[in-house]
Amino acid sequence: MRVTFIKTGPRRYGVLVERDRWPDVGVNPAPGYDDYLPHDLLHFVAEAEWRMDGAVFGQLASGGDAGIFLPLDPELLTQTVRDRKRRKRLSAKPKGRRSELLTGVLETAWAARRGLASLPADWEEQLAAARVVPSTGSTRSRAAGTSSTSAKG
C-alpha cells in the first residue's frame, strides 16, 4: 500500500491510497489541515507506531474504505456509497476510536510544540484513556503490508 499526502490548495490537502489487491481510494479535501502535520498523517504515524491494525489505514490496507475514502474508479463509486450507508445502519459503534483519541492528543502536543497552545494538565491521562502502549523499535505497520509514505506539497 502506498499512501500519498498532497497539498491541494490553500489550507487543503488530499490523501491518495494506492493498493495492490484492492481499488485505489482517496479523499479530497481531507479533514484537519495543518501546514506540517495534517490530521490523517498523524493517524498514519500513530497507527504504525502503536500498531493499530483496525484503525483508518489498517482498514484501508485490508480492503476497506475507513469511512471517508472513496474509490478513484467512478464505476465503483455508487456501489461504495450504497454499501457504506448499509453498514452505517447496521453498525453499533464507530471503528478507529482509539486512533482518533491518540491523533487528538498528538495534535494538541504538536500545537504546544509550536507555541500555539499548552499541553493540558491531564495529557498523560488522555494517553492512558486511549490505552496506548508505544511499540519498541519498529515503526512499520503490521496492517497488511503498509510499506511507504510520501509527501508532496
What confidence tens digit (pLDDT) does each residue in 85-105 have?
776 666 655 556 778 888 888
Interval 17-38 mean pLDDT? 91
What is the dihedral sign for C-alpha 108, 1, 96, 46?
negative
Residue 123 has pLDDT above 50, yes or no: yes
Greater confidence (1 vs 131) lies with 1
All three cell numbers of 46, joined, read 500513530
* Least reliable range by pLDDT among 16-20, 78-82, 136-140: 136-140
Helix or strand (DSSP H, E) at 49: helix 39-49
Percent of the chain with pLDDT over 90: 24
Any alpha helices (H) in 51-130, and if so which ranges?
Answer: 56-61, 74-90, 97-113, 123-129
Task: Please determine, for residue 142, whether its predicted confidence score (pLDDT) is greater than 50.
Answer: no
Distance (Å, rounded) from C-alpha 104 to C-alpha 87? Answer: 26
- Whether residue 121 is predicted with pLDDT greater than 60 in this model: the reply is yes
- pTM (2 decimals)? 0.67
| Phi, psi of 106, rounded to the nearest 5 degrees | -65, -40
